[in-house]
C-alpha cells in the first residue's frame, strides 16, 4: 500500500516512510492510496469472531505486501488482547465501551498497535527514533504504556498544564525510563502546533529522527477501524442500520469510522458530537471551517480548536460538503447539558458514563429526534468514568470506585518538565536529549 499527503495526491510514500515520518513535508496528513474492501461473505462471519480475530483480518487487508502475514497477525494479536463490549441500554441504544485496555481509554487500540508496528519497522536500525505526541488527556497515557521500555525508541509527551484531569496527568507523567512528559504552559492546540513545527524544522530533522504517535500518524487510524467492524456486526443489533455517535475532539476516531465504512462496515451514519469546541459541527452547518482557540470544558479530551483530522475527512470526500453531510451530522453541547445527560443516563439506565460519552449520548438524542427512523444508536464511550472522577462524583453525588490501574498511577510521583509554549524551548530540549 502506498500513502499520499492530503495536500498532494500525486506524490506517494511507502508504509515505512508514512509511519516513521508521521507528517509529510508539506504539512498535510498521510492517507492510503486506496481503501481495501472487506468482502460481504467474510463480514457474515464477523458475528462469530472475537475482536482479536477481526483485528487480525482487517490488519492483513491494510498491511498485506508490506509485512509478512505472520508478523501482521502477531502485531494484531499482541496489541488487541482485550474486548470492546457493546452494552445495551434500551431497544434502540447501545454503548460501545472502548476502555477495557490497560490505560482505560480507546487510545489503547491505536497506541499498542502502533508501538508494535514501529518496533518491527525500526528493528536493526542504529539511530534512535524519537516519538513526539501531543495529548489532551488519554493519548499520552496510552502511548506511554504502549511504548514503555521498547529498545531504540524514546517517547516525548506534550500536554497542556492544568488542562488534563489529575488521574490522566498521573497516567502520562509517572513512567520514567524511555518516556518523558513535557508540561506545556498553554492548551492542547499549542501542544499540537509545537509537534507540527518540530516536523517542519529542517535543522531539527537533520539531527533527530522524529515521528508522531498522535492521530496525525496513519498507523493510529488503522487499528481504530477494528472496533467499528466488531460493533456494527454484533447480532444484538438485529440487522437494523447502525448509527455511531462519536465524541470528537481531534476527529481521529470519527475518521477511522469513516474509513471502516468505506471498507464495507455496515454503518448507516455518523454523529460528530462535540462540546462547545464545535469547529466541525459548525462546518457541517455553514460550509466554513474556522479554527479558533480552544475552550476548557469538563470533557477535556475534546477541547480542540483546530482538529487535524478534519483534513483527512475532507480528503475522503474530495472537499465535497454535501457528500459529507450525507454521512455525518454534527451537534455541540455545553457542560451544563453534559452534566444533565450524565444524570439522565444514570437515572434511566443505572449506567455510569464519562463526560465524553455523555456528549455522545446527547448527539444521539438530537439526531434520533430529527430523523425518527427505526435505527440502532451506538454511543462510543471513549474512557472509563473513573478517569474523570472529580466530575463524575460531583455530578452524580456519589463515591466512585477507582480501578486498580488508576490507583497505582495515583500513588506514583509525577515526573514532568515544564516548558513555555514556544518552539525554541522544545527544540532546545530535543537537541539536548539527542
Active site residues: 107
Map residue 11 onto helix, strand or coil.
Answer: strand
Whether 3 is in a domain gets the answer no
Whether 355 is in a domain gets the answer yes
Distance CA 379, CA 360 (A): 6
Distance CA 66, CA 14 (A): 9
Whether 351 is in a domain gets the answer yes
Which pLDDT score, from 0 to 100, does residue 386 have?
Answer: 92
Q: What is the span of the domain harbouring residue 371? A: 84-103+223-396
The model carries a pTM of 0.89
Per-residue pLDDT of the chain (434 residues; tens, 9 = 90+): 899 999 998 889 999 999 988 888 888 999 999 999 999 999 999 999 999 999 999 999 999 999 999 999 999 999 999 999 999 999 899 999 999 999 899 999 998 999 999 989 988 787 888 999 888 777 788 888 888 888 888 999 999 998 888 888 888 898 888 999 999 999 988 998 999 899 888 888 888 888 888 777 899 899 999 999 999 999 888 778 899 999 999 999 999 999 999 999 999 999 999 999 999 999 999 999 999 998 999 998 899 999 989 999 999 999 999 999 999 999 999 999 999 999 999 999 999 999 999 999 999 999 999 986 778 999 999 999 998 999 999 999 999 998 988 888 888 899 999 999 999 999 999 988 66
Whether 25 is in a domain gets the answer no
Backbone angles phi, psi at 28, to 5 degrees: -85, -160
Tally of domains within the chain = 1
CATH number of the domain where residue 264 is located: 3.40.50.1100
Give 404: exposed, middle or buried? Use CB within 10 Å, 0-12, 13-18, 19+: exposed
The DSSP secondary structure of 104-153, one letter per residue, reads: SBTHHHHHHHHHHHHHHHTTT-SSPEEEEEE-SSHHHHHHHHHHTT-TTE
Whether 17 is in a domain gets the answer no
Distance CA 173, CA 430 (A): 18
Distances (CA, A) of 143 to 29, 111, 189, 312: 20, 5, 18, 22
Whether 43 is in a domain gets the answer no
Whether 272 is in a domain gets the answer yes
Long-range residue pairs from 70-74, CB within 8 A, at least 24 positions apart, any chain: 71/120, 74/116
Whether 278 is in a domain gets the answer yes
Which of 55, 30, 35, 34 is CA-nearest to residue 262? Answer: 35
Amino acid at each position: 500500500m502506498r500513502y499520499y499527503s492530503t495536500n498532494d495526491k500525486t506524490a506517494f510514500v511507502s508504509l515505512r516512510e508514512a509511519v516513521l515520518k508521521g507528517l509529510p513535508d508539506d504539512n498535510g496528513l498521510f492517507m492510503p492510496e486506496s481503501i481495501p474492501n472487506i468482502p460481504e461473505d467474510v463480514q457474515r462471519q464477523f458475528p462469530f469472531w472475537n475482536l482479536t480475530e477481526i483485528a487480525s483480518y482487517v490488519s492483513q487487508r491494510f498491511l498485506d505486501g508490506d509485512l509478512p502475514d505472520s508478523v501482521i497477525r502477531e502485531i494484531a494479536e499482541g496489541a488487541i488482547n482485550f474486548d470492546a463490549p457493546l452494552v445495551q441500554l434500551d431497544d434502540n441504544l447501545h454503548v460501545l465501551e472502548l476502555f477495557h485496555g490497560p490505560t482505560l481509554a480507546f487510545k489503547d487500540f491505536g497506541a499498542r498497535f502502533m508501538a508494535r508496528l514501529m518496533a518491527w519497522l525500526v528493528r536493526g536500525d542504529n539511530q534512535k527514533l524519537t516519538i513526539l505526541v501531543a495529548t489532551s488527556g488519554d493519548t499520552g497515557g496510552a502511548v506511554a504504556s504502549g511504548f514503555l521500555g521498547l529498545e531504540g525508541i524514546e517517547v516525548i509527551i506534550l500536554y497542556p498544564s492544568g488542562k488534563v484531569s489529575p488521574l490522566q496527568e498521573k497516567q502520562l507523567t509517572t513512567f520514567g525510563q524511555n518516556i518523558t512528559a513535557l508540561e506545556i504552559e498553554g492548551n492542547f492546540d499549542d501542544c499540537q502546533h509545537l509537534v507540527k513545527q518540530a516536523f517542519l524544522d529542517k535543522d531539527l530533522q537533520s539531527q533527530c529522527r522524529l515521528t508522531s504517535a498522535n492521530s496525525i500518524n496513519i498507523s493510529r487510524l488503522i487499528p481504530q477501524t477494528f472496533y467499528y467492524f466488531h460493533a456494527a456486526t454484533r447480532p444484538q443489533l438485529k440487522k437494523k442500520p447502525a448509527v455511531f455517535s462519536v465524541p470528537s475532539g481531534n476527529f481521529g476516531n470519527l475518521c477511522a469510522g469513516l474509513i471502516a465504512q468505506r471498507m464495507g462496515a455496515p454503518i448507516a451514519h455518523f454523529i460528530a458530537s462535540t462540546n462547545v469546541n464545535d469547529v466541525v459541527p459548525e462546518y457541517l452547518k455553514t460550509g466554513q471551517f474556522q479554527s479558533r482557540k480552544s475552550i476548557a470544558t469538563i470533557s477535556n479530551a475534546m477541547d480542540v480548536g483546530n482538529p487535524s483530522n478534519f483534513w483527512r475527512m475532507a480528503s475522503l470526500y474530495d472537499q465535497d460538503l454535501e457528500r459529507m453531510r450525507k454521512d455525518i451530522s454534527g451537534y455541540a453541547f455545553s457542560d451544563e447539558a453534559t452534566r444533565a445527560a450524565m444524570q439522565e443516563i444514570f437515572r434511566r439506565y443505572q449506567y455510569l458514563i464519562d463526560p465524553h460519552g455523555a456528549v455522545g449520548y446527547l448527539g444521539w438524542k438530537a439526531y434520533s429526534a430529527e430523523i425518527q427512523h427505526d435505527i440502532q444508536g451506538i454511543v462510543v464511550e471513549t474512557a472509563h468514568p473513573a478517569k474523570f472522577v472529580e466530575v463524575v462524583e460531583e455530578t452524580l453525588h456519589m463515591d466512585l470506585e477507582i480501578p486498580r490501574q488508576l490507583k497505582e498511577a495515583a500513588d506514583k510521583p509525577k515526573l514532568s518538565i515544564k516548558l513555555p509554549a514556544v518552539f525554541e524551548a522544545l527544540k532546545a530540549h530535543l537537541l539536548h536529549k539527542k
